[in-house]
Amino acid sequence: MVGVFDNKPPAEDVLAFNTFMEPKERQLDSLLYYYKRRHDLEAAYEYGLTQLALDMTKTDWEKSANDSGIVSTVAPGWSALKTITNTIALEHRRLKDCFFAGQRDLVQAKKKHDTLLTDLRRLLEEKEKVYNNLRKKEIPKVGTRLFWNDSDCAGGTGESVEFPVRNYLLETDQKTIGTNRRDAYVKAHTEASEDHKDKNKRRNPGWAKSSTICGVNVAPWRVGEQTAARVAKVASADLAYRRGIEEAERARDDVLAAREDVKHKCISTLELDRYEVTKSVWTLYSKSEKSTLDAMIKVLRNLRLGGQWNRASGSRIVPATEDLSATIVTVNCNLDLDNLEHGFKSVWPEVPHVEYENALYKTSKGVTGSGSSPHGASPPFLSRRRLPIGDCSVIT
């Protein structure tokens, strides 16, 4: 996203601007025509006066000897001059009115043009701020469920119907989020409705398996064809869109609050190169291979969240629950198994299951990485070990 729009307004804004300016350009062409015509008339006016004056002078000199002849010759000339002058004056007045009317239109068009450009600049600035914020905040992947009460439908049974809504802030390209997110929702809504009305799918037990939305397993609708049809009619796309976005924004706010919390609780305890957060999982990257296991566990304990210590390539996401006894923590911190065993014997007794991946292990040749050793691939008994923690055991 280079400058959001590469310093160019969106195509639809350009089209709107061109459509707005098209008649104004025609007015400008007319105004230029008025200018030209006015210039031509003024030139003709001056030329006519000059020619009439020359004609009268010539006649005056030729008829100088005959007073009556002079009078008879000059009088028609003055009459013709008066007629031509009046005609030119009337035409000039009409032309001047047209000119000032066109000038007023041009001034109004210029004002509208400036206003439109100002609005476009403001719109671009707002969009750039939004997109920059989206890039910085890394909106988490959140699976959202919406519920409608079937009693809102005519002849409804009153049962609550579950409808999974995707997080379109993630699935839609951020550059086209404003135009595509509603279409994406309507498409998903239609497909879900059609799935329930498809008798073959309802007879096939395979369709009732859980589906995955944004990494969260959700069960599809388990309602009859009539109920699904009524819900499809009543469930407004606008309402679902607003609720889904509100859920995503609330989840994002929760994540941002958690990130602020980790700055105070963790940074001083454990050096972090970077960290990523979803609603229930922390992914931490260490910028120091000398971080102690005790310090890392203290961080995760303070967070009271399931954590995951990942390499840049990443591994599976292990969602955590509020009950720490069901939490699984994946650890990858470049510590040898002796340190791991020593650390977990003394801390974090409330988490019975801890997975320790890709640890450094000790061989007779010294400390080597888990993926390599002086003798080839690391033996399974060296890379995986069962460590006792209180009454539980930890598989590493």
pLDDT tens digits along 95-113:
666 656 666 666 666 676 6
Q: What is the pLDDT of residue 365?
A: 30
Is residue 45 in a domain?
yes
Residues 309, 240, single domain; the answer is no
The model's pTM is 0.19
Residues 188, 123, single domain; the answer is no
φ and ψ of 48, to 5 deg: -65, -45
Residues 117, 21, single domain; the answer is yes
10 Å Cβ neighbour count for 153?
20
Residue 207 above 50 pLDDT?
Answer: no
Query: Given 248, 275, 292, which residue is the final one in a domain?
Result: 248
Residues 46, 126, single domain; the answer is yes
> Mean pLDDT of all residues in the chain?
47
Number of H helices, E strands in the chain: 11, 13
Query: What CA–CA distance (Å, rounded) separates 41 from 48?
Result: 10
Residues 8, 92, single domain; the answer is yes
Is residue 255 in a domain?
no
Residues 148, 223, single domain; the answer is yes
Is residue 148 in a domain?
yes
Q: Are 363 and 314 in contact (CB under 8 A)?
A: no
Query: Given 213, 248, 283, which residue is the final one in a domain?
Result: 248
Residues 273, 365, single domain; the answer is yes
Residues 128, 159, single domain; the answer is no
Residues 130, 166, single domain; the answer is no
Residues 231, 273, single domain; the answer is no
Domain interval for residue 391: 266-395
Residues 270, 376, single domain; the answer is yes
Instruction: Say what the alpha-carbon torsion angle 306, 310, 316, 321 is, to the nearest 10 degrees.
Output: 0
Residues 76, 118, single domain; the answer is yes
Q: Which residues pair with 216 in a beta bridge?
A: 213
**248-276 average pLDDT score:** 51
Tell me which residue has tokens 């566990």: 297
Is residue 261 in a domain?
no
Nearest Cα neighbor of 354 from 362, 364, 345 is 345
Is residue 193 in a domain?
yes
Residue 297 above 60 pLDDT?
Answer: no
Q: What is the pLDDT of residue 272?
A: 40
10 Å Cβ neighbour count for 90?
10
Residue 337 above 50 pLDDT?
Answer: no
The count of structural domains within the chain is 3
Is residue 256 in a domain?
no
Q: Are 318 and 328 in contact (CB under 8 A)?
A: yes
More confident residue, 83 or 155: 83
Give the number of C-alpha atoms closer than 13 A to the C-alpha of residue 218, restricted to the C-beta side. 18
Nearest Cα neighbor of 174 from 131, 230, 218 is 131
